[in-house]
Structure 1
Amino acid sequence: MHPIRFEAVPRHGIHIFHYLPGDDIPVSRHWPGLFGEWPQRQTPFSEWAVNNNNMEEVAVYVGLIWRLTDGLARYAIPRYYRDDATQTLGREPIMVDWEYDVDAEQLTPLSRDNGFVPGRSALTICPQPTAWEVENASRAGLFPLATLRDLVSALHAVLFDASSEMTVFAIPPGAERLERLTAALRGPVRPALGDVLEDDGIFLDLTIGSDLGNYDSIIVASSTDLLSPLTNLAADCAQRVESYEQRLDELRSVPDFLRAMPQLAGVDLDAS
């Protein structure tokens, strides 16, 4: 087990925290069954986006994000794979012009964080993209997330490149606040993080490195100082990881593994 530590990197009056573990991902002992045969249904990947490359740490990450944003309405931009996320989530996105960019190959917070960049969406080669897909290739998609399962489903859309990225915006519920978030992510002018957050939002970016030389990170930003809840949540995550690693020998099957994941994540998949 490696502790989760966030580094404060304040910028322009915004409280920003970076978690950048490098090779010291939070779970250091892994279930051997991740490298074995899985049943056709309800696998570690289908349920938690966990595989034998991006392993149990993914459950820790999504659990931390979901618990930190408890009580808020959550919206996600799956970077680059907007149309794939439409399929995995089964819903249409709100179209926006900007998305966040993190360089997974870099090893310091400042060198990784590129801020908002113009949106992009992948175009298929075969079959030929539709006219609508071509017209909207320079736009990102903002998807509402009702449950943690939705966040995992959105991860399914992006988690097959050298690195993958998901940005989550957590805001007070309500149509008016959503309209302001959407407006901040549209238009020709690059958004400022403070304008997107206002005084009541939380921004989170989850980047997962899959290929060698690509590294995981979590960025948390808010107008209010989240150091105390982040510290408490990170400590709870560490306790859950330690408990999970101590119980690894008890996990005999995929169903056993899946029953252990909510305890590791600190939240059920269907939690709102």
Structure 2
Amino acid sequence: MHPLHFQSSKEQGINVYRYLPGTQTAVTRHWPGLFQDWPPEPTPFTEYAVNNNNMEEVAVYTGLVWRLTAGLARYAIPTYYREEAAQTLGREPVLVDWEYDIEAEAPHAVRDNGFVPGRSTASSLRPDAWKDVNRAGLFNLSTPRDLVRLLHVVLLDASSEISVFAVAPGPARLKDLVASLSGSSRPSLLSVIRDADVFVDLTIGSDVDYYDAITVASHADLQPRLDALANDFAQRIEVFEGRVDGLTDVAAFLGVVPELSGIDLDAE
């Protein structure tokens, strides 16, 4: 079985694909240096949100999300940490009323709660944020590094979640996306995503009894693309695992992670 095996089903009238690795991570031979002291920045965490708990698989996830959504405009909701995300990215989000919620508290299953009312930190970072505490923040992702920056923020919790809406580029589609995530009526994925749009929910477990899960949804059949990406990542992971013992320091590690993830963090 590929390291990135997705189960497919039809849910809510659309195609849904789930990666549920349980205790088996995509990368199984880890760089020993993750468990040693690091010099000052850059580090595996500052560059890729990789640490000695959420390891190289996070770089694989970042690459998967970015490559799967190529050609589309990407907008993300980092669950709960809206204000911290705004500070990290250096820009304000569009506020919306609904966010997606996945609970991954079993090894090979998730509780898909669909869209739930948005929530955020009533943070001291900005005192007037109190008035919008029950709204989520939708952020534009310009480069993969933006996604890594959101991971820096949400990985504080036992389980963290980022939902990515990859839609047709342009202000009109963004306006419709915001409208579909706003208001008193609970939306569904069927109504939020259209045509060739791709929805990706990335859930990462950090504490015991919390697990990783990737949920992908689209009206289009994404199985061929997911299979191609799985094949490509299997090869990348094999090459990486063959090199880990020869990586002598952080710089060497950071030099090979782009090959593992298949992306340039600063490329659009």
Task: Please say if residues 83 and 120 of structure 2, whose CA atoms lie closer than 8 Å, have aligned partners that are also in contact.
Answer: yes
Aligned equivalents of 1:12 and 1:66: distance in 2? 24
Q: Offset of 1:87 from its aligned partner? A: 1.1
Look up the match of 1:114. 113
Task: Please say if residues 4 and 26 of structure 2, whose CA atoms lie closer than 8 Å, have aligned partners that are also in contact.
Answer: yes
Note the aligned Cα RMSD (angstroms).
1.4
Point out where structure 2 has 5 or more consecutive residues left out of the alignment: none
1:270 aligned onto 2:266: yes
Point out where structure 1 has 5 or more consecutive residues left out of the alignment: none
Letter in 1 for 2:262: G
Matches within 5 A, 1:244-255: 244-255=240-251
Look up the match of 1:59. 59
SS at match of 2:105: coil
Letter in 1 for 2:197: G
SS at match of 1:220: strand
1:116-148 residue CA offsets vs partner (Å, 9 max, x unmatched): 000000124xx5972x22110100000000000
Letter in 1 for 2:233: C
Task: Please say if residues 102 and 113 of structure 1, whose CA atoms lie closer than 8 Å, have aligned partners that are also in contact.
Answer: yes
Q: Offset of 1:101 from its aligned partner? A: 0.5
Q: Offset of 1:37 from its aligned partner? A: 1.2
Identity %: 57
Change (3 A) 1:61 1:36: same
Aligned equivalents of 2:202 and 2:65: distance in 1? 9
Change (3 A) 1:248 1:107: closer
SS at match of 2:10: coil
Task: Please say if residues 2 and 25 of structure 1, whose CA atoms lie closer than 8 Å, have aligned partners that are also in contact.
Answer: no
Q: Offset of 1:228 from its aligned partner? A: 0.5
Q: Offset of 1:2 from its aligned partner? A: 6.0
Would you identify which runs of 4 or more consecutive aligned residues in structure 1 move more than 4 Å? none
Q: Offset of 1:5 from its aligned partner? A: 0.6
Aligned equivalents of 1:230 and 1:91: distance in 2? 32
Aligned equivalents of 1:129 and 1:46: distance in 2? 24
Task: Please say if residues 2 and 27 of structure 1, whose CA atoms lie closer than 8 Å, have aligned partners that are also in contact.
Answer: no
Letter in 2 for 1:64: L
Matches within 5 A, 1:216-255: 216-255=212-251
Instruction: Name the TM-score, length of structure 1 as normaliser.
Output: 0.95
Letter in 2 for 1:11: E
Task: Please say if residues 102 and 112 of structure 1, whose CA atoms lie closer than 8 Å, have aligned partners that are also in contact.
Answer: yes
SS at match of 2:101: strand
Instruction: Name the TM-score, length of structure 2 as normaliser.
Output: 0.97
Q: Offset of 1:34 from its aligned partner? A: 0.6
Change (3 A) 1:2 1:36: farther
Q: Offset of 1:172 from its aligned partner? A: 1.2
Task: Please say if residues 2 and 28 of structure 1, whose CA atoms lie closer than 8 Å, have aligned partners that are also in contact.
Answer: no
Letter in 1 for 2:72: L
Instruction: Tell me the number of residue pairs that the alignment of Structure 1 and Structure 2 aligns.
Output: 268
1:60-114 residue CA offsets vs partner (Å, 9 max, x unmatched): 00100000111111000000000010111111000000001011213454x4211
Change (3 A) 1:50 1:80: same
Look up the match of 1:187. 183
SS at match of 1:38: coil
